[in-house]
């Protein structure tokens, strides 16, 4: 009798405990971003966009497959060591199932091994450096943000023409150097003459711009400096102040940025470049929702990194729907590989080989005769589809060694 009672109690205890263990009612998502530091504005936009994306993708319920989505925010301060520790704390102490971020490429590179250590997915947004999904990649890393090669391919399409003389001005970090390295690979017709690097947070751009002038002023042909810059202050206003185009025929070209930074673009009517998002360019229902709801909440259009944050949220919700709310890497990785999803930037697909989201870029032109104001006037020249860009897979060595079971990370 006593044995039967003990067995009954054991079965009852198992029945009570099993649902609690096997069916957690929450999916915890850690968003790690540079909420303080020179990229603070980028981080705030990413977080706003991410939360709006969760709202959109869940129909306002913040639920997927019966599970509540819980967002944990952490500040990496733009510092690699802080970001690495924050991710470890998120996975280990906060029991986050998934992480999103960070803002800066050097921070992302420090975080990659932590995702592998904890065997949990890290969705990189918006850090750009090619090496994140290149030689430093591991299988737990996905990225919705564009990479250096996507930026480079799209911008080279606008600048690489016979007779053009091209130089670069970039941040002296992984973002800038990976961006320039990729850009140079796409310059086939023009003449590349110089690459200039300055530390992030530089306040005086005079010396760097003078070195560019010295390298370019006597060169025949149309002259361009392609600027690869993240954070404030930026070199755009100084470039105009020194009247480099008027004095030396040196024109500025660049990609996208946040709207406050792109106000300076109005000093360069007719300037061309390429970006992944400007609120007035992508024509799709997701962007229509984002623009309308952002205006409703903030009385302003959504910005560059807002769209990126929203795209990351949509990707995670779509993946969790497909796994029935299972947030383990064992389920998420095969689900997300090759997965397509709709975003305000347009349709995106995670490439199976390196987990980079392939996406359109938009060749833009600054409106001629643009007047100073709070929002830059950008016109679409051409949508550059992912299929039109030869974006290389840069983790080939790692993919090959994984196949043989001899991965060295």
Whether 102 and 55 share a structural domain: yes
Q: Is 351 exposed, middle or buried (0-12, 13-18, 19+ CB in 10 A)?
A: middle
Closest CA to 139 of 162, 120, 165, 111: 120
The 10s digit of each residue's pLDDT in 52-93 is 999 999 999 999 999 999 999 999 999 999 999 999 999 999
pLDDT at 372: 59
Backbone angles phi, psi at 170, to 5 degrees: -145, 160
Closest CA to 234 of 264, 210, 214: 264
**Taking the chain, what is the end-to-end CA distance rounded to the nearest angstrom?**
58
Domain that holds residue 252: 149-276+361-388
Whether 317 and 333 share a structural domain: yes
Whether 114 and 44 share a structural domain: yes
pLDDT at 21: 35
Residue 85 lies inside a defined structural domain of this protein: yes
Whether 200 and 259 share a structural domain: yes
Strand-strand pairing, 63-64 and 67-75? antiparallel
Residue 127 lies inside a defined structural domain of this protein: yes
Mean per-residue pLDDT pooled into runs of 10, the chain (409 residues): 49 42 79 95 98 98 98 98 98 98 97 98 96 96 95 89 95 91 93 94 93 95 92 86 92 90 85 93 97 97 97 98 98 98 98 97 84 76 92 72 40
Whether 265 and 161 share a structural domain: yes
Residue 17 lies inside a defined structural domain of this protein: no
Cα 254 to its chain centre, rounded Å, is 17
Q: Give the count of alpha carbons within 13 A of 117, CB side only.
A: 13
Residue 262 lies inside a defined structural domain of this protein: yes
Closest CA to 230 of 302, 337, 304: 304
Whether 331 and 366 share a structural domain: no
Whether 258 and 316 share a structural domain: no
Residue 261 lies inside a defined structural domain of this protein: yes
**How many structural domains compose the chain?**
2
DSSP element (H, E) containing 212: helix 206-216
């Amino acid at each position: 009798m006593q044995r039967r009672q003990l067995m009954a109690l054991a079965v009852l205890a198992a029945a009570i405990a099993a649902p609690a263990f096997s069916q957690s009612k929450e999916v915890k998502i850690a968003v790690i971003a540079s909420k303080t530091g020179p990229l603070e504005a980028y981080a705030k936009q990413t977080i706003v966009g991410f939360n709006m994306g969760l709202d959109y993708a869940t129909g306002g319920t913040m639920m997927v497959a019966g599970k509540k989505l819980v967002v944990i925010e952490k500040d990496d301060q733009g510092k690699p060591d802080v970001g690495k520790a924050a991710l470890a704390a998120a996975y280990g102490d906060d029991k986050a199932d998934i992480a999103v971020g960070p803002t800066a490429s050097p921070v992302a590179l420090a975080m990659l091994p932590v995702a592998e250590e904890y065997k949990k997915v890290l969705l990189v947004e918006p850090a750009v450096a090619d090496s994140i999904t290149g030689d430093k990649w591991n299988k737990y890393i996905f990225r919705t943000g564009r990479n250096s090669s996507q930026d480079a391919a799209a911008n080279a399409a606008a600048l690489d023409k016979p007779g053009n003389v091209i130089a670069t001005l970039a941040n002296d970090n992984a973002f800038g150097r990976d961006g320039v390295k990729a850009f140079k690979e796409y310059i086939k017709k023009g003449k590349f003459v110089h690459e200039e690097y300055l530390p992030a947070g530089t306040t005086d751009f005079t010396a760097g711009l003078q070195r560019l002038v010295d390298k370019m002023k006597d060169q025949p042909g149309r002259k361009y400096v392609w600027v690869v810059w993240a954070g404030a202050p930026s070199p755009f206003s100084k470039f105009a102040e020194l009247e480099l185009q008027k004095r030396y025929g040196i024109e500025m070209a660049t990609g996208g940025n946040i709207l406050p930074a792109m106000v300076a673009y109005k000093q360069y009517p007719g300037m061309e470049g390429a970006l992944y998002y400007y609120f007035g360019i992508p024509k799709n229902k997701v962007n229509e929702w984002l623009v309308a709801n952002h205006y409703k909440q903030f009385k302003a259009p959504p910005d560059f990194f807002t769209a990126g944050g929203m795209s990351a949220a949509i990707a995670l919700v779509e993946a969790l729907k497909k796994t029935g709310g299972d947030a383990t890497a064992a389920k998420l990785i095969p689900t997300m590989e090759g997965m397509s999803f709709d975003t305000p930037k347009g349709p995106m697909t995670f490439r199976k080989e390196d987990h980079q989201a392939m996406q359109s870029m938009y060749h833009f032109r600054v409106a001629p005769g643009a007047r100073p104001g709070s929002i830059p006037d950008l016109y679409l020249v051409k949508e550059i589809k992912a299929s039109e860009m030869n974006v290389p897979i840069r983790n080939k060595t790692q993919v090959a060694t994984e196949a043989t079971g001899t991965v060295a990370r």
